[in-house]
């Protein structure tokens, strides 16, 4: 009689979320690590460290003054993207892993047309406009006022996923966000990696997208002061 395969250890979703925030590793990898450790948070963190995935959060504050500029031209030359991706050393910038990430994110931008790099860059005017629209939609359906704010908050989370590059599901792997894809590369390469800015153009479209992180804007203002 053959042995029955042991069912995976059931892990609470909050534990997975907590481990992801602590390690910076993708949700799927956090889940597997917690299953292996039978729900032991510290042991799961050790599992991720052994696999090189638990270093992203600790490296996030390290300066990224090196990197590379990459391009992606969509088939037929109708859409073009210019992206600056930063890391800590010129050595890492030249690695195939870094160059692959540069190409993948450029391709992602061409496909999804994000308007901002992170949530922090979304303007107050855009936030106010979207909240007003979502609130009006919720009230129009007859929802009770006490539920409207929760509905609006949920729709705002979806809004961030649509317009912020790092919050978007990665086009080549929808189960991960762009932020999580970058975190995995950070764990593998051992250096902080960050998107600094990008531009996207489409033939025949009078509008175009240019986005950059707030730190660039703040540095420019400091230099002029």
Q: Has residue 222 got a pLDDT over 80?
A: no
Task: Give the per-residue pLDDT at 92.
Answer: 93
For residues 77 and 202, give the distance between their C-alpha atoms in angstroms, rounded to a whole number: 9
Q: What percent of the chain has pLDDT over 70?
A: 85
Between 59-68, 90-99, 136-145, the lowest mean confidence (pLDDT) is in: 59-68
Q: Has residue 186 got a pLDDT over 80?
A: yes
- CA-based angle 80:85:86, to the nearest 5? 165
* CATH number for the domain harbouring residue 12: 1.10.8.10
21 plus 42 within the same structural domain? yes
For residues 120 and 214, give the distance between their C-alpha atoms in angstroms, rounded to a whole number: 8
Predicted TM-score of the model (pTM):
0.69
How many domains are contained in the chain? 3
139 plus 173 within the same structural domain? no
133 plus 113 within the same structural domain? no
Q: Which domain holds residue 21?
A: 1-54
Find the mean pLDDT for residues 103-123: 95
186 plus 220 within the same structural domain? yes
Task: Give the per-residue pLDDT at 41.
Answer: 85
139 plus 33 within the same structural domain? no
Tens-place pLDDT, residues 151-175: 888 888 889 999 999 999 999 988 8
Tens-place pLDDT, residues 37-70: 888 888 888 888 776 665 555 566 567 789 999 9
Task: Give the per-residue pLDDT at 64.
Answer: 79
Specify burial of residue 18 (Cβ count, 10 A radius: 0-12, 13-18, 19+).
middle
50 plus 148 within the same structural domain? no
Instruction: Report in angstroms the alpha-carbon separations of 131 from 135, 146, 163.
Output: 6, 15, 14
Instruction: State the DSSP code for 173.
Output: E
112 plus 180 within the same structural domain? yes
* CATH number for the domain harbouring residue 206: 3.30.479.20
Kindly report the average pLDDT of the chain as a whole number: 84
């Amino acid at each position: 009689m053959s042995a029955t395969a042991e069912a995976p250890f059931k892990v609470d979703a909050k534990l997975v979320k907590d481990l992801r925030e602590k390690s910076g590793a993708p949700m799927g990898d956090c889940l597997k690590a917690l299953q292996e450790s039978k729900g032991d948070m510290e042991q799961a963190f050790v599992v991720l460290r052994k696999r090189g995935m638990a270093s992203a959060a600790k490296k996030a504050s390290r300066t990224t003054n090196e990197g590379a500029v990459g391009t992606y031209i969509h088939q037929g030359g109708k859409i073009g993207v210019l992206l600056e991706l930063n890391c800590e050393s010129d050595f890492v910038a030249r690695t195939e892993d870094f160059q692959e990430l540069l190409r993948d994110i450029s391709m992602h931008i061409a496909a999804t047309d994000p308007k901002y790099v992170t949530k922090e860059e979304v303007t107050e005017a855009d936030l106010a406009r979207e909240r007003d629209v979502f609130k009006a939609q919720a009230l129009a359906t007859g929802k009770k006022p006490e539920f409207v704010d929760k509905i609006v908050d949920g729709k705002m989370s979806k809004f961030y996923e649509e317009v912020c590059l790092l919050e978007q599901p990665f086009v080549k792997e929808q189960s991960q966000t762009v932020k999580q894809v970058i975190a995995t590369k950070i764990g593998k390469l051992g250096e902080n990696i960050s998107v600094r800015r990008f531009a996207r153009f489409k033939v025949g479209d009078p509008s175009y997208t240019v986005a950059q992180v707030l730190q660039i804007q703040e540095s420019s203002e400091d230099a002029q002061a």
